[in-house]
Amino acid sequence: MNKYEMIEIVGEGSYGMVMKCKHRETGQFVAIKRFLESEESDYEVRKMAFREIRMLKKLRHDNLVNMIEVFRRKKRFYLVFEYLDHTLLNELENAEGGLGLEMSKRYIYQVLRGLDFCHNNNIMHRDIKPENILISPNGVVKLCDFGFARFVNSPNESCTDYVATRWYRAPELLVGDPRYGRPIDIWAVGCLYAEMVVGNPLFPGDSDVDQLYRITKILGGLCMKHQTLMDRSRPGQILRHASADELIGPPQSGLFSIRKLFPKWDIIAIDFLAQCLRMDPDLRSKSSMLLEHPFFIQDRFVDKFLILLRKSIDIESSMNPLSSKILSEKGPSVTTNLLESSKSVCQHFPSWHMHTIIAEDLNDKTKSETTNTMELCETSSSSHNNPSRKVCKMNSISVIPNTTYIRKGKQKGIVMYDY
């Protein structure tokens, strides 16, 4: 710790704390996560620390918070990260009525890029939510907090069922399916995108049962495997909220419900969300497929946006010498590689998604929003607060496991209408 000056503590949890520090030589601010150890939790904390360190050493990407170094002092592990003090949660608090379609697209595209890198390295994040999405002053998005992340070793491996903040939990987690995988992150991406656009959580359940009820009311019934698990685990609880007819039905019905929920959305944006929110995890799209969805390909969004993103990343790299050194050691930038390949990707629309898009809607739909500029960094935060979103004070970088946040408001979630 001698080369860092401690500024303040920005977060604390049952397994450790996060400190804002300053690198004495360069003057760069960093976030240092210190694991706490005691006689009672020594083994568990060490196990968690080793797992997180192992993963973070593999995860070097422009859209992931990067670990600068790790060291040990007095039997405690210290993880040093690049420091960002602004999150997507902050954006949502300050933006009345959501971030808008264009800004939401830029943010969710970067989230998917970072997540795709994780999934390609056989890592699922398991806790995607607004306060785990860091946003730089130049609009670069970085996924953070890998305290709950874990390696995916085999499709049939059992995993811990208590992961992810409830509002972003996939149905397979809510019914207690131990054999889940990467699709739980895709579900969270869908919830995150809808929340970014409209400004309120999509499924703000008060309990696991209420969460599942809200999901099935909009998207239709559980798949057969999950319905069987639900019948075995807690049939009495679910009957107090819904009948059996409400909880079982065709998974494909979700597309039409989403169209009713967001009638002003472009059909391609609706299809993108529907691909994320498939009730059956086996039918949910992979991150790589979503990155090639027409939602991003149309109007040459990828071509234009990646050029601007590269410029913003270069600016930030020049201001953060410690992070730049780490990223240079991993070889060519991921963004550079994508820029080279984006031209071939954008030459055609993939056909995998078209079974959910209704042709007449595409023919009749006029473009609802025209982008005059493709500036990456624009003011997305409103000068006035959103009255429907009141939160407790949150840490600027929530990299401590078992910490959460509370949101209270007069109106929770999206208003659901019966059709």
* Same domain (yes/no): 125, 62: no
Give yes or no for a contact between 405 and 89, defined as CB atoms under 8 angstroms apart.
yes
> Cα separation of 41 and 75, whole Å?
13
Assess whether 299 and 179 both reside in one domain.
yes
Residue 101: what residue type? L
Instruction: Report d(CA 110, CA 106) in Å as an integer.
Output: 7
Only one residue has tokens 């991921």, namely 334
Give which of 396, 397, 196, 213 is closest to 204, Cα–Cα. Answer: 213
What pLDDT was estimated at residue 255?
73
- Output the pLDDT for position 244: 46
Within a domain: 257: yes
Q: Which of 62, 127, 185, 266 is catalytic?
A: 127
The strand pairing partners of 17, in sequence order, are 12, 34
Residue 371 within a domain: no
Task: Report the pLDDT value the prediction gives residue 234, as an integer from 0 to 100.
Answer: 58
127 among known catalytic residues: yes
Residue closest to 146 by CA, chosen among 125, 120, 121, 173: 125
- Whether residues 181 and 104 share a domain: the answer is yes
Is residue 396 within 8 Å of residue 182, measured between CB atoms?
Answer: no
Q: What's the pLDDT score for residue 408? A: 38
Domain boundary among 83, 114, 132: 83
56: CATH:
3.30.200.20
Domain count, the chain: 2
Tell me, yes or no, whether 198 and 296 share the same domain.
Answer: yes
- Rounded CA-CA distance 145/185 in Å is 14
Does residue 124 share a domain with residue 270? yes
Q: For tokens 């990407």, what's the residue? A: 61
| Strand partners for 364 | none
Residue 178: count other Cβ atoms within 10 Å of its Cβ. Answer: 13
pLDDT of the chain, 419 residues: tens digit per residue: 789 999 999 988 777 899 999 999 999 999 999 987 665 567 778 888 888 898 999 899 999 999 999 998 887 889 999 999 999 999 999 998 999 999 999 999 999 999 999 999 999 999 999 999 999 999 999 999 898 888 887 665 555 555 568 999 999 898 878 889 999 999 999 999 999 999 999 999 999 889 998 998 888 877 677 677 676 665 445 544 554 445 444 444 567 789 999 999 999 999 999 999 998 899 999 999 999 999 999 999 999 999 999 999 999 888 888 876 665 555 444 444 554 444 444 444 444 444 444 343 444 444 443 333 334 544 444 434 444 444 433 333 333 333 333 343 444 444 443 33
Question: What is each CA distance from 330 to 80, 150, 154, 179, 334, in whole angstroms?
Answer: 17, 22, 27, 33, 10
Q: Which residue has the tokens 């624009």?
A: 378
Residue 152 burial by CB count (10 A; 0-12/13-18/19+): exposed, middle or buried?
middle
In the block, residue with structure tokens 């398991």: 126
Q: Tokens 């800004």 identify what position? A: 103
Final residue before a domain boundary, out of 33, 61, 83: 83
Q: What is the DSSP string of 277-316?
A: T-SSGGGSPPHHHHHTSHHHHGGGHHHHHHHHHHHHHHHH
Residue 415: the pLDDT is 42
Residue 163, pLDDT score:
58
Confirm whether 362 is domain-assigned: no
* Res 407: pLDDT: 40
The answer to whether 137 touches 377, Cβ cutoff 8 Å, is yes
The reported pLDDT for the residue numbered 363 is: 44
Which pTM value belongs to this model?
Answer: 0.76
352 DSSP assignment: T
Three-point CA angle 247, 414, 384, nearest 5°: 160
Residue 336 lies in a domain: no
Distance CA 58, CA 64 (A): 11
- 219 within a domain of the structure (yes/no): yes
Q: Which domain holds residue 300?
A: 86-233+244-316
Same domain, residue pair 65 and 113: no
Query: Domain boundary residue among 316, 338, 364?
Result: 316
Q: Which residue in 167, 94, 160 sits closest to 129, CA to CA?
A: 167
Longest distance between any two alpha carbons in the chain, whole Å: 67
**33 is an annotated ligand-binding site residue:** yes
If asked whether residues 155 and 31 sit together in one domain, one would say no
